Amino acid sequence: MKKTSYTNTPVADLKKALVEKRITLRESRFGGKASKNTKSTSIMKKDIARIMTELTKHK
Q: What is residue 35's predicted lDDT score, i.e. its pLDDT?
A: 66
CA distance 14 to 47: 11
Whether pLDDT at 21 is above 70? yes
Looking at per-residue pLDDT, the higher value among 22 and 1 belongs to 22
Q: Are 18 and 48 in contact (CB under 8 A)?
A: yes
* pLDDT tens by residue, 40-54: 889 999 999 999 999
Q: What is residue 1's predicted lDDT score, i.e. its pLDDT?
A: 52
Task: Tell me the pLDDT band of 10, cut-offs 50, 70 and 90.
Answer: very high
How would you class 43 by CB atoms within 10 Å of its CB: exposed for 0-12, middle for 13-18, buried for 19 or more?
middle
Whether pLDDT at 11 is above 90? yes
